[in-house]
Amino acid sequence: MSGFFKSSIGRKVSMALSAFFLMFFLLQHLAINVLSVFSPDTFNEVSHFMGTNPVVQFALQPVLIFAVVFHFVMGFILELKNKKAQGVSYAKNNGAANSTWMSRNMIYSGITILAFIVLHFIDFWFPEINTKFIQGDWSGVMDGVDGYRYYEELVHKFVNPIRVAAYVVAFVFLGLHLAHGFTSAFQSVGANSLRKKLEKLGLAYSIIIPAGFIFIALYHYLNH
C-alpha cells in the first residue's frame, strides 16, 4: 500500500478519490443549507438530525475531516513533485500555451479554500464541538430561541459584511478550483473517453455549487 502512494499514479488516484468524496459532501452540504432560505424549520430539523446522529458524528465526520486533510496534503505533495520534475525545462516552456490558468494555479485556489475552511471551522464546527462534547449539550436548543438553535446561529454569522465578503471570495475560488479539479479527478481514474461530457458537467457543477453558497450568504445578510 505504501508503494501505491509513492507512485505518481497512486497519488493521483488517491487525490481523485478524496475529491469525489468532498464533491459529494459539498452537494449534500448545499442541499441542507439551502433549506435555511426556503424552510427554516426544516433546516433546523435536518441540522439536528445530522448533528446528533451517531453514524454521522462518530463515523462520517471523522472520515470527512480525514478526507479534507488528505486532499490538501496530497495536493501540496503533487504540486511539489511537479515543480521538481519540471526543473530547468519549466522555464523554457510556455505553460500558458499548454494549460489553463486554473490548472496552473490550483495550489493558490487550494490555499484560499484551506484558509476559508479554517474560518468555517471557527464559525461553526468548533462551537458545535464545544457545545456537544465539552458542555455535553445535545439538545439543539438555546436560551431565548424558539425551537432548535441552528437557524439562529447560521443567520447570526452573516450579519458582519466583512465575513460575508470573505465567504463570497472563498466560494469564487472554490468555483475556480472545481472548474479544473472536477474533470481532472475523473481523468485520474481513467475516464478520458468522457472528457467532453465531463467538462460540461464539471463547468455546471463549478458554477452551481459556489453560486448556491454565495446566494445563501447574501440572502441572510440582506434579510437579517
User: What CATH number does the domain containing 186 carry?
Assistant: 1.20.1300.10
**By the 8 A CB rule, do 183 and 219 touch?**
no
**How many whole angstroms separate alpha carbon 162 and alpha carbon 198?**
35
Full DSSP string of 12-44: HHHHHHHHHHHHHHHHHHHHHHTHHHH-HHHHH
Q: Is the pLDDT of residue 109 over 80?
A: yes
**How many whole angstroms separate alpha carbon 156 and alpha carbon 76?**
34
Q: Over pLDDT 90: what percentage of the chain?
A: 64
**By the 8 A CB rule, do 175 and 167 touch?**
no
Query: Which pLDDT value is given to residue 3?
Result: 56
Lookup: cell for 180:
479544473
**How many whole angstroms separate alpha carbon 116 and alpha carbon 173?**
10
Query: 92 pLDDT band (50/70/90 cuts)?
Result: very low
Query: Which pLDDT value is given to residue 104?
Result: 75
The pLDDT tens digits for 65-87 are 999 999 999 888 888 887 777 65
Q: Is the pLDDT of residue 2 over 80?
A: no
**How many whole angstroms separate alpha carbon 47 and alpha carbon 142?**
14
Query: Which pLDDT value is given to residue 193?
Result: 75
Structurally, the chain folds into a number of domains equal to 1
Nearest alpha-carbon partner for 30 in 162, 22, 72, 4: 22
Which alpha helices (DSSP H) does the chain contain, by range? 2-6, 8-33, 35-38, 40-52, 54-55, 61-86, 89-92, 95-98, 101-104, 106-120, 126-129, 150-157, 161-188, 195-222
The pLDDT tens digits for 160-205 are 999 999 999 999 999 999 988 888 888 887 777 777 888 899 999 9
Least confident of 49-53, 63-67, 87-91, 161-165: 87-91
Rounded mean pLDDT, 130-142: 96
Query: Which pLDDT value is given to residue 11?
Result: 80
Rounded mean pLDDT, 112-121: 92
Q: Is the pLDDT of residue 17 over 50?
A: yes
Query: 91 pLDDT band (50/70/90 cuts)?
Result: very low
Place of cell 448545499: 30
Rounded mean pLDDT, 8-33: 91
Mean pLDDT of the chain: 88
Q: Is the pLDDT of residue 212 over 90?
A: yes
Contacts of 129 (CB under 8 A, 6+ apart): none
- The whole domain housing 149 covers 2-222
